[in-house]
Structure 1
Amino acid sequence: MSCVGKYLLLKLNQVLAEASSSHRLEREVRLRAEDPEVESLLSLRPEVRIDSVQVLAGRVLWEGQLVLKLDYVACCPGKPVYTARVSLPLAEVVEVAEARPGMAASVAAEVKEISLRPEKTCSRKLYLTALVTAQVKLTALKELEVLVEPPPGLKVTTKKLKVENVVSSARAQCFLAREERLPIDKPSLREVVSTLASCKNVRAEVKRGGVMVCGEVEFRVLYAADDASPVYEVRFTLPWEHFVTIEGVVPGLEIRALADKVTVKAKAKPKGRIPTRELELEALVDFQVMVGKVIEAEVVTGVEGETEVTKLRVWLEQVVGEKEKEELIRREVVPTVDPPVEEILAAEPMLAVVRETDILDGMVLVKGEGLVRVIYTAKGTGKVHALDVDLPFSLALPLPSAKPEHQISAQAEPVYARAKLAEKGKVAVEVLMAVKVKVTERVQEEVVTCVRLPAAKGRLLKYTISPGDTLYRLAQRFSTTVEAIMAANPGIDPYNLQVGQVIFIPCRF
């Protein structure tokens, strides 16, 4: 017996499992040689950045960085206040029994406790203790048919849901290869010992006929040099982009890209005899693109009466609210070029990365950085130079329904940029940053996925034909057959139903 009523097909990212972990760090931290020594620490601002997430069988591996921004009184004449930044690598395996390769995973990490103490007065060496917690969430794309319009005569309970429905999805691969040369401060290479990599800064943009996905693969190559020294490490970052054809993609839809696997290889480039200073790098990035649209639907959660009802309990990311905001960000920088800048030729917005989000009661905070490339000529030489400028931004977006316990996703995009000469050889750079946030609440709902009516009792239901009705659709809706409807309506033409025409349908209640 088929299901009766009207159903809505949803494609949702179902939450399959969650797990949390804690990672305690105790280590020595050193400032750069160009940073002045620390006399006393004034403030410390920690931030966890997630670079890559990989789902393995039974576990999730995530890698990132703990970024420390510290303000301190420097051991310099006049004791100026100085700001420094230190990045420490993070990597952790979180056990999740339900994890399987191919699943999507997200990681939210934060610093719960932290302490940073200078070794002594006027020192660049500090001791760090920190507790980093991570929340891992596994999701998978699933199709679900839910009842939105029951058969006539049934009493039901409903609930309005606002969820992101996946309109389309696709998986793709991107292959990249490049030759790189060892930095001058590294010894020549005799043999590659191992190669590790992570994919970071993955982002997607709607283009005509599909989605352009881009990101960066960071290589960590361990190699043996032609001496008795231990193994050396060298890092390279390779940008990549790939166009994925997806029908029906238009601006305004939610676009998400996830790189869930990266396979890499590095080898010495033969050039004469070994050792060499050149490497051949290759990477294959497996990624998924999902295109979604937020929809509202009144779904049936309960049915009363003599019916056979099938229900399913599902976890849903209920959309609490969305907000967009644009803000002009400005910064002045001094190009490291001699002679100084003569003329600004162009300013091009490159990318924007959201680094941190937070939710207060009725307010969403978003912090990140935009990157602008400034092209200019040097005075007296006519030579063209390029300057990449980071522009930190911090935006507050009012969202009355937002609560601290909700989840948040945020996207940032540089709309346009400009640059001009300022005083004392500085370059003033501006970028218009567009930020979009979506706040969701994870809820568990029981929805009706099928209603079957009992056997017919011989009654006939008088029904008025509506636009789009066919005997086949009416038979499905009322759990009967086309033949039974035709038998109840002698002389009816099944291929020429008229809107407003009244027919009889065998009824099961």
Structure 2
Amino acid sequence: MAGTERLKVNLVQGENRVQTVVRGQIEVPQAKPEIEKILSKDAKARTRNVSIVPDKVIVDGTLSLQVTYVAFKPDQSVHSMEGDVNFTAFVDVEGAMPGMDAVVELTVEDVSLTPSKRDPLKFDVAAVLSTFVKVTELDELEILTSVPEGNEALETQDIAVEHMIGDKAAKQVIVSDQFEVPEEKPDVEKVLASKAEVEITGTKVLAGKVIVDGEVRLQILYSAMDPRQTVHDLHHTIKFSDFVEVPEAQPGMNVQVRAEVEDADVQPVIDPKLTADAVIKLTVFVSETRTLKDVPTKLKNEEGFEKRRLKVDREIGTGVTQVVLRETAAVPEEKPDIAKVIETMVDKTEVTETNILKGKVLIRGYTDVEVVYVSTKPAQDVHALHQRLNFRTFVPVAGAEPDMDVKVSVEPEFVSVDQLGADVHTEAVLRVKATVTEITQPNVYVPTGAAPTAAPTPCPPTDYVVKAGDTLSKIAAAHGVSVQAILDINPQITNPDVIDVGQVIKIPCPAKG
């Protein structure tokens, strides 16, 4: 009698990379001076929504720009501004179907700003984005693991796959904080805009659940509480820890967590405090690596079996290294000299190049350090400057080969700035992690006539009466569903930001898993 093993695997249905040209316009805020000269521009793209239709993935995203410039005014002071441009990318992926899962990676390859001919406060944006999409589907297979009696294996192979534990598990969490405006910043009269990004900083698998640690990074644009009502921005980070239930999870298993911000709101409460609420969607995949020895990949007699090609991701290994950066540079000419350093922080870290060699990964990138200081001017104004530190390092990963894939994360562990006369000496320590994977496509045999998996029992939606203070994001988080899922079955809601107290809306069943 032939031996089999039932595996639940994420099969790669297809992947593709396309270039997308993004065009739009950003505007200098009214309280900011006009631009004489752009000193630097940084751009980052993030996804807002991903939809899968037959053989195609539609990615709605936002291109966020941060521009540092010399003002068109007598003192030629240095200012910064931000702007967003929304875009939609269409990626052809053969085999993609609604209900499948998609992983999207966006990379800004080039961006340019051109002054508008009609309005000196507006700039035309043109950017080139690289959009990579991988579409997967969870499938359960009964795989032949030994040669049937009376048959013969012409070829065998050792196969390592990630066996999924349960289905993907999703949960919405609300991350909240109340914090004060930094001393060097003016008080807030009105929040003009806020953006939030989330990053997972740690995971731990326990019996029946996964602990997730992360950070929500807020960027807030506001008008100041002074007669000029100048526009300022500030950053704030909220750390959080939560858990997602995965009943079959056990310590030692592998875990992947995706996190996305579904909604973020920042409002002034009691001067000089702000309150922030962010709704985060966590999606957790728990798996264990199973290695099957001498699996028949070619039988002499294939009667009673169906040959299947498994296209799956397999993790080769992970490596970690530390990078110590030291650099001394003069204060930029357009900035006043430093009397006292108030605060230092890592503003941005970017990986610009990765190259896989045998047994290691070469990585290039940079980190931007922001220095807030009191100037030597008579009024002792508070200013900020940025210093860019480039780095190049390698991370050992046993088994890595040039044709494999790699994912790199860089976390700042320490940053310090010292004043050396008119110069600034910066030291930073970065933790660089590289995970190498490859797509394997082994042939396996599946017995024909296997019993199909039972279809899930439909779950009817329930009614909910809107209460004072409710928003769709808070209602969705409380019921374990997404805002989009609520909108899909409530066509009467034409504006997701407007719901009325006493209004009855339908709540779909939460995703199981």
What TM-score comes out, normalization by structure 2 length? 0.56
Give 1:438 shift. Answer: 0.8
1:417-436 equivalence runs, <5 A: 417=414, 423-424=420-421, 426=424, 428-431=426-429, 433-436=431-434
1:243-254 equivalence runs, <5 A: 243-244=242-243, 247-250=249-252, 254=254
8 Å CA contact 2:189–2:222 kept in 1: the answer is: no
1:289 pairs with 2:269? no
Give 1:309 shift. Answer: 0.5
8 Å CA contact 2:20–2:129 kept in 1: the answer is: yes
> What is the DSSP-based 3-state SS (H/G/I as helix, E as strand, rest coil) of the residue aligned with 2:401?
coil
8 Å CA contact 2:400–2:436 kept in 1: the answer is: no
Q: Give the letter for the 2:170 counterpart.
A: R
- Please give the alpha-carbon distance, in whole angstroms, between the structure 2 residues aligned to 1:60 and 1:111: 18
Q: Which residue of 2 aligns with 1:14?
A: 11
Q: Which residue of 1 aligns with 2:380?
A: none
How many positions carry a matched residue from both structures?
397
Q: Give the letter for the 2:211 counterpart.
A: V
Distance change in 2, residues 1:146/1:207 (3 Å): closer
8 Å CA contact 2:25–2:85 kept in 1: the answer is: no
- Please give the alpha-carbon distance, in whole angstroms, between the structure 2 residues aligned to 1:146 and 1:47: 49
Alignment equivalent of 2:325, drawn from 330, 335, 338 = 330
Distance change in 2, residues 1:185/1:286 (3 Å): same
Alignment equivalent of 1:136, drawn from 133, 137, 155 = 133
Q: 1:65-107 deviations in whole A, cap 9, x for unaligned?
A: 466999x9xxxxxxxxxx9999764533345795657x64322
Q: Which residue of 2 aligns with 1:483?
A: none
- Please give the alpha-carbon distance, in whole angstroms, between the structure 2 residues aligned to 1:145 and 1:67: 50
- Please give the alpha-carbon distance, in whole angstroms, between the structure 2 residues aligned to 1:91 and 1:444: 37
Give 1:303 shift. Answer: 2.4
Alignment equivalent of 2:148, drawn from 138, 146, 151 = 151
Give 1:260 shift. Answer: 4.9
Q: Which residue of 2 aligns with 1:107?
A: 104
8 Å CA contact 1:202–1:214 kept in 2: the answer is: yes
- Please give the alpha-carbon distance, in whole angstroms, between the structure 2 residues aligned to 1:451 and 1:146: 11
- Please give the alpha-carbon distance, in whole angstroms, between the structure 1 residues aligned to 2:222 and 2:347: 30
Q: Which residue of 2 aligns with 1:262?
A: 262
Which deviates more, 152-161 or 363-372?
363-372
- Please give the alpha-carbon distance, in whole angstroms, between the structure 1 residues aligned to 2:417 and 2:220: 38
Q: Give the letter for the 1:304 counterpart.
A: K
Distance change in 2, residues 1:17/1:216 (3 Å): farther
- Please give the alpha-carbon distance, in whole angstroms, between the structure 2 residues aligned to 1:146 and 1:130: 47
> What is the DSSP-based 3-state SS (H/G/I as helix, E as strand, rest coil) of the residue aligned with 2:250?
coil
- Please give the alpha-carbon distance, in whole angstroms, between the structure 1 residues aligned to 2:288 and 2:125: 44
Q: 1:204-252 deviations in whole A, cap 9, x for unaligned?
A: 33377743231326588999xxxxx9xx9989766352332664334xx
1:356-505 equivalence runs, <5 A: 356-359=352-355, 364-367=361-364, 393-397=391-395, 402-403=401-402, 406-413=404-411, 417=414, 423-424=420-421, 426=424, 428-431=426-429, 433-441=431-439, 443-450=440-447
Gaps of 5+ in 1: 73-82, 224-228, 375-386, 454-509
Q: Identity across aligned pairs (percent)? A: 16
Q: Give the letter for the 1:241 counterpart.
A: F
Largest Rg, 1 or 2: 1
Alignment equivalent of 1:92, drawn from 76, 87, 90 = 87
Alignment equivalent of 1:308, drawn from 296, 300, 304 = 304
> What is the DSSP-based 3-state SS (H/G/I as helix, E as strand, rest coil) of the residue aligned with 1:149?
coil
8 Å CA contact 2:101–2:137 kept in 1: the answer is: yes
Distance change in 2, residues 1:177/1:427 (3 Å): same
Q: Give the letter for the 2:279 counterpart.
A: L
Distance change in 2, residues 1:341/1:140 (3 Å): same
Give 1:53 shift. Answer: 5.0
8 Å CA contact 2:104–2:132 kept in 1: the answer is: yes
What TM-score comes out, normalization by structure 1 length? 0.56
Q: Give the letter for the 1:106 counterpart.
A: V
Q: 1:16-54 deviations in whole A, cap 9, x for unaligned?
A: 454546224366798x9799847xx9xx9x986443453
- Please give the alpha-carbon distance, in whole angstroms, between the structure 2 residues aligned to 1:237 and 1:421: 23
Give 1:308 shift. Answer: 0.6
Distance change in 2, residues 1:181/1:202 (3 Å): same
